[in-house]
Amino acid sequence: MENEDQPRLRSVVSYVKRGGRMTVGQQRAWEEHWPRLGRTVAQLPEGPVDFTEWFGREAPVMLEIGSGMGETTSQLAAAAPELNYVAVEVYDPGLGQLMLRAEKLGVTNLRLMHGDAVVLLTDHVEPGTLSGVRLFFPDPWPKKRHHKRRIVQPEFVALIASRLAPGGTFHMATDWEHYAEQMLEVCSAEPALRNRYADEPGGWAPRPEWRPVTKFEQRADREGRVSHDLIFEKR
């Protein structure tokens, strides 16, 4: 159903469109696996996606926004076979690489969405149905004049909260201090969410051992930036 908030939500997309040529392996992955594992957000029929039908089973649905080249995503899906794991990404080679990594790890509980997560959440995910949403190292837009392009804004967080089931989690990570503070402020102001680690120093979540160290986190460490995790849950 359309509402007055949607135009503002859709003005902040969940990605920056980047080009890139696929390798032979990535192209093969698209040809062999995409018909079964992938769907394009812009081509979805109206209404919510039937995840139970797509996965062939009923299980908690975890949505990861921005899976990049898939190294972390493939490992997380492999480590949690009890989840129906959905990754949404706009970068074609990244999705191809994710399918290759999933194939190598023997992952069977992963499905891929190509397109904008905001549109997916707004138009194709029922309220109160996701067990969790993960947003790891989104584009930081470090220049102050570009901060309005960051995806973690009040309208986006309200959308995430509306799609989470009670007790569901919104887990973020970033290596940019100012962005981490913005995430903390915006999510703390969302009445449907509570900071699971509000009593910890700064309100930051301890870094989970199960989250693989990404290339962004490795680079941040070399450059002297501290990565922060934040975990909010649906009230």
Active site residues: 139
Cα angle at 175 between 110 and 82, to 5 degrees?
Answer: 20
* Kind and range of the H or E run holding 233: strand 228-234
Annotated binding-site residues read 64, 89, 116, 139, 143, 175, 214-217
The alpha carbon dihedral of 228, 155, 187, 44 has a sign of: negative
In sequence order, the 6+-apart residues with CB closer than 8 A to the CB of 188 are: 195, 203
Name the strands in the sheet holding 38-40, side by side, starting at the edge strand that comes first in the sequence.
38-40, 110-114, 84-89, 61-65, 130-136, 164-174, 228-234, 193-195
On the CB side of 11, how many CA atoms lie within 13 Å of its CA?
Answer: 9
Among candidates 13, 227, 31, which has minimal Cα distance to 120? 13
Q: Which residue has the tokens 């995840």?
A: 51
